[in-house]
Structure 1
Amino acid sequence: MSLTLAIVIAVVVIALAFDYTNGFHDAANAIATSVSTRALTPRVALTLAAVMNFVGALLGQEIANTVRDVISPGDGNQGLIIVMSGLLGAITWNLITWWFGLPSSSSHALIGGLVGAAIGGGADVDWAKIVEKVLIPMVLSPLFGFAAAFVVMLSIMWIFRRRNPHKVMRGFRMMQTVSAAALALGHGLQDAQKTMGVIFLALLTGGYASAGDDLPLWVVIAAASAISAGTYAGGWRIMRTLGRKIIDLDPARGFSAEAVGASVLYTTAFVFHAPISTTHTITSAVMGAGATKRFSAVRWGVARSILAAWILTFPMAGIVAWLCYEVLTVLIPV
């Protein structure tokens, strides 16, 4: 086996490991609101999320194409080391934020890691695409998620203002099964494709694929399976933060947050081909729906900690990836 092939295999394995950590790190996105409102039991919710993550991963390749084009690592072993370092930086930051229970963005950790490794290795970075497809959506999607969930919940409160509150909440508890499934589908659509894009980038860099090729079926199935398995493993630390610590949700507010979050994920994937953060979107939607009680009902201290994790994710993952690149270039001949 050649050294290049060995590195390609290692990158694929690390990419699938990232996909798995993405699953358990972001599992809370899809199920925290449903579990916290007792619409679903944790195990049923995780099973539903895992299945829908797998299905969502099979629905398109637009996000994968965007991710694979954010950097041009070059050919050969050095380019592969850049891709590997980007993945290691993202995994490290995912594990750090998971340990502290902070719902940071696996998507921005991945892209930040790739950019940091590319800078360390002197590779080209498509800054225009990063600004258009990553940074602008990173800012706009949470703002829209907050505002839209706030408006949707206000509409629900007005429409059902004369109905029996217990019957209304029982109905929305049932509807949360649908909204949670929709959100999990959007998570698979967005996040599994990012791993597919990185694996294909490694195949291109190693000379095992051409730029005009479609994603190989094994790449699609492997990425879908990894994120689904990670989701089933669960992300209990982050679930507590998202489902309980930000605000105590009722079924109507949980439904509003999930429905808005899913809508944003589908729109950005199919219309704008932008790899947005599932975490940012659903967390801001939870805040927006919760703020309809009163703004003081949202625990803004917890929200500030989450915001700090969001801001730090891109640069910190990039710095860790840069350090990984420096270490790997010593260990692996380029």
Structure 2
Amino acid sequence: MSMSVIVLAVLVTALLFDFTNGFHDTANAMATSIATGALRPKVAVLLAGVLNLVGAFLSVQVAKTISSGLVDESKITPVVIFGGLVGAILWNLLTWLLGLPSSSSHALFGGLIGATWVFAGSDAIKFSSVVSKVLLPLVISPILAGAVALAATYVLYRITSRGNQRILGKGFRHAQIVSASMVALAHGTNDAQKTMGVITLTLITVGVLPADAGPPLWVIASCGLAIALGTALGGWRIIQTLGKRISEIESPQGFAAETSSAAVILTSTHLGFALSTTQVATGSIFGAGAGRRATVQWGVARNMALAWLLTLPAAAVVGALAARVASSGTAGMTAVAAVAAVVALGMFGLSRRRPVTASNVNEHPALMPVSVPVAP
């Protein structure tokens, strides 16, 4: 198989991952607004898609972290990147099927690291950057977002406790349109850049771009469009989890959670940290729930935390296996692509047995939680 065909296959696979990223992460921006009634489901996801596209053009710092900060581009090939992307896509689809808001970002990092390790050894991985740019934000960002949302929710309820709750609720629902839009914009600035970084890394490995190059305009545009399309189609299962299964969210909580998420994501993007917007949004929702002493589903939190812990190693294992097989030649790449397609179609088929759509996202009975009150 010629190198040009391999590069084209990697580019297509990267954009497919970008699509699943948007589809998987729609909930980050819009779950609470849908849950509180601030936005209708279809309007919410279309707005998120447009703002994801706009956000993709606002920064390239995270893309540079991916393209030159995690692995040694001189020691890998496009086939390795292809294997890593397969691992990330399959993990994204599995967690979407289960309705778990896992991190698309860490699925990508895990797949890329696993594929690089099995192909070029541990020396090809820049562990110091992995720790500072990936692992530390993984731990700190949801805790920080949760703490900010908790404090903001507590303050909002204290200062509005004597007001007309009907008028305040309406006002906060209008405010949520702005805050949710900011999260969608922030998501585009951070998550779209990850695929930009992977494509740029691919072009660097084949000599099309110099080392440390930023993503070309066509890469920015194509990644922005792919994630926007995925977002606009809506990942209803994960929207249902974040909007309803964590806590019953009221409009002041939704506003506090969304504002906290946007602030953390935009700050991290400016610093070049490739954090998980999913984990930030989830941490904010838990914080907002706790800030009102509302019913919070800590059992759901346990399942999410388990998915977060498994994401990097699980995607790494699949990425490593895919890279090992794909590096054997044309037959290997074809086999990996075929198996990935069959598995993906199988997951989609399973999802149709219990569909969650825009019309039932707020009341889907199979996914509704059992209440567990927060301790006073």
Same fold judged by TM-score > 0.5?
A: yes
Choose the corresponding residue for 2:119, options 118, 121, 125. Answer: 121
Q: CA deviation at 1:73?
A: 4.2
Hey, what's the Cα distance between the residues in 2 that align with 1:198 and 1:73?
A: 11
Hey, what's the Cα distance between the residues in 2 that align with 1:100 and 1:214?
A: 36
Contact 1:73 1:80 in 2 (8 A): no
Moved more, 238-247 or 286-295: 286-295
Hey, what's the Cα distance between the residues in 1 that align with 2:190 and 2:253?
A: 24
Please list, as runs of the form range in 1=range in 2, the aligned pairs for 1:35-46 lying within 5 A after superposition. Answer: 35-46=34-45
Give the match for residue 110 of structure 2. 112
Hey, what's the Cα distance between the residues in 1 that align with 2:237 and 2:198?
A: 27
Hey, what's the Cα distance between the residues in 1 that align with 2:59 and 2:48?
A: 18
Deviations 1:34-81 (A, max 9, x none): 001000001110111001000000001000000112012436xx6111
Q: CA deviation at 1:331?
A: 3.5
Choose the corresponding residue for 1:301, options 277, 299, 309. Answer: 299
Give the match for residue 7 of structure 1. 6
Contact 1:73 1:83 in 2 (8 A): no
Hey, what's the Cα distance between the residues in 2 that align with 1:333 and 1:174?
A: 55
Give the match for residue 15 of structure 2. 16
What is the SS of the residue equivalent to 1:92?
helix
2:274 is equivalent to residue 275 of structure 1: yes
What is the SS of the residue equivalent to 2:210?
coil
Contact 1:68 1:197 in 2 (8 A): yes
Hey, what's the Cα distance between the residues in 2 that align with 1:191 and 1:314?
A: 16
Deviations 1:83-116 (A, max 9, x none): 1111111001001101111000000000111100
Hey, what's the Cα distance between the residues in 2 that align with 1:73 and 1:179?
A: 38
2:144 is equivalent to residue 168 of structure 1: no
For 1:19, the aligned partner's letter is D
Which stretches of structure 1, 4 residues or longer, exceed 6 Å deviation after superposition?
none
What is the SS of the residue equivalent to 2:83?
helix
Greater length-normalized contact order (CA 8 Å, ≥ 6 residues apart): 1
Give the match for residue 325 of structure 1. 323
Q: CA deviation at 1:330?
A: 2.3
Q: What is the aligned-residue RMSD (CA, Å)?
A: 1.4
Give the match for residue 185 of structure 1. 185
For 1:100, the aligned partner's letter is L
Contact 1:16 1:195 in 2 (8 A): yes
Contact 2:73 2:204 in 1 (8 A): no
Hey, what's the Cα distance between the residues in 1 that align with 2:97 and 2:129?
A: 31
2:65 is equivalent to residue 66 of structure 1: yes
Contact 1:73 1:118 in 2 (8 A): no
Hey, what's the Cα distance between the residues in 2 that align with 1:214 and 1:260?
A: 29
What is the SS of the residue equivalent to 1:291?
helix
What is the SS of the residue equivalent to 2:225?
helix
Moved more, 93-102 or 66-75: 66-75
- The percent identity for this pair of structures is 45
Q: CA deviation at 1:332?
A: 3.3
Hey, what's the Cα distance between the residues in 2 that align with 1:99 and 1:213?
A: 36
Structure 1: unaligned runs, 5 residues or longer:
none
Aligned length: 329
For 2:306, the aligned partner's letter is A
TM-score after normalising by structure 2 = 0.85
Deviations 1:291-324 (A, max 9, x none): 12326x1110011001100010011000000110
Hey, what's the Cα distance between the residues in 1 that align with 2:329 and 2:292?
A: 56
Hey, what's the Cα distance between the residues in 2 that align with 1:97 and 1:188?
A: 21
Deviations 1:2-26 (A, max 9, x none): 7111111111110000000000000
Hey, what's the Cα distance between the residues in 2 that align with 1:50 and 1:236?
A: 14
2:29 is equivalent to residue 30 of structure 1: yes
For 2:304, the aligned partner's letter is I
Contact 2:176 2:255 in 1 (8 A): yes
Contact 2:200 2:213 in 1 (8 A): no
Instruction: Indicate how the Cα distance of structure 1 residues 127 and 333 shifts in structure 2: closer, same or farther if over 3 A, else same.
Output: farther
Please list, as runs of the form range in 1=range in 2, the aligned pairs for 1:210-289 lying within 5 A after superposition. Answer: 210-270=210-270, 272-289=271-288
Hey, what's the Cα distance between the residues in 2 that align with 1:212 and 1:22?
A: 25
Q: CA deviation at 1:325?
A: 1.0
Contact 2:67 2:212 in 1 (8 A): no
What is the SS of the residue equivalent to 1:330?
coil
Instruction: Indicate how the Cα distance of structure 1 residues 55 and 260 shifts in structure 2: closer, same or farther if over 3 A, else same.
Output: same
Hey, what's the Cα distance between the residues in 2 that align with 1:293 and 1:214?
A: 44
Give the match for residue 203 of structure 2. 203
Moved more, 50-59 or 212-221: 212-221
Hey, what's the Cα distance between the residues in 2 that align with 1:97 and 1:314?
A: 13
